[in-house]
Amino acid sequence: MFSLKAGVTSTFIILIVFVIGMYIYMKISKKGMYFRRIPGLDALEECVGRAVEMGRPVQYSPGQKGVTDTNAPPTLAAITMLSYVAQICARKGANIGVSIMDAQVMPLVDQSLKEAYLAEGIDQYPKDGIQWLAPTQFSFAAAMLARLRREKPAAIFYIGHCEAETLMIAETGIEIGAMQVMGTEAVAQLPFMTAAADYTIYGDEIYAADAYLSRNVKTMGSLRTIDLGKLFAMLVIIIGSILSTFGISILTQILKW
Partner 1 sequence: MSFLRREGPLIFTSVVAFFLIIEYYIANSQLTLIATFLNRSAMIVGAFLLGFGIINMTLIHTKNIIQRKPKWPFSLYLLILLFVTLVAGLIPPLGSNYYYLWLFNNIYTPLDPAIFSLIAFFIISTAFRALKIRNLEVSLMLLFTVVVILRNAPIGPATFPPIGWLGDWVIISINTGVQRALNLVVALGAIAYGVRILLGVERGYLKGAG
Partner 2 sequence: MSLADRIMKIDRRIIYALIFIVIFLFSLKPMGIPVVTQPWVIDTYKLVESLQPGDKVLICWSLYPVSNEQIAGAVVILQHLCMRGIKTVHFQTQTAVDLVDDVMLNKVHPESYGQVYGKDWLWLGYISGLEAGQAAIAQNLKGTVTVDKYGNQLSQYSLWNELTNDARQFKFVLSPSAETPGTAGVLRQFQIPYGLKIVESGSAFSLGSVMPFYASKQYWGMVAGFPDCAAYEKLIGKPGIGSRSTDPLSAMGLLVFGLLLVSNIAYIISKLGGKGGSVK
DSSP code string of 8-44 = -HHHHHHHHHHHHHHHHHHHH--TT------HHHHHH
Task: Give least dist CB 69 to partner 2, A.
Answer: 4
Q: Which stretch binds partner 2 (CB under 8 A): 90-98, 134-142, 220-228, 245-253?
A: 134-142
- Of the candidates 90, 86, 130, which has an alpha carbon nearest to the alpha carbon of residue 106? 130
Query: Are 200 and 183 in contact, with CB atoms under 8 Å apart?
Result: yes
Task: Give least dist CB 59 to partner 1, A.
Answer: 15
In the sheet with 199-202, reading across from the earlier edge strand, the strands are 130-132, 96-100, 58-63, 155-161, 179-184, 199-202
30 counts as binding partner 2 under rule CB under 8 A: no
Which of 39, 93, 107, 135 is in the footprint of partner 2 by CB under 8 A?
135
Task: Give least dist CB 209 to partner 1, A.
Answer: 8
* d(C-alpha 227, C-alpha 196), whole Å: 29
Q: Which stretch binds partner 2 (CB under 8 A): 14-22, 27-35, 65-73, 107-115?
A: 65-73
Binding partner of 230, given partner 1, partner 2, none, CB within 5-8 angstroms per partner class: partner 1
* d(C-alpha 27, C-alpha 50), whole Å: 39
Query: Are 162 and 61 in contact, with CB atoms under 8 Å apart?
Result: no
* d(C-alpha 11, C-alpha 48), whole Å: 43
Which of 5, 30, 31, 37 is in the footprint of partner 2 by CB under 8 A?
5
Nearer to partner 2, 174 or 226 (CB): 174
Binding partner of 163, given partner 2, partner 1, none, CB within 5-8 angstroms per partner class: partner 2
**Which residues would be at the binding site for partner 2 (CB under 8 A)?**
5, 7, 64-65, 68-71, 135-138, 161, 163-164, 174, 187-188
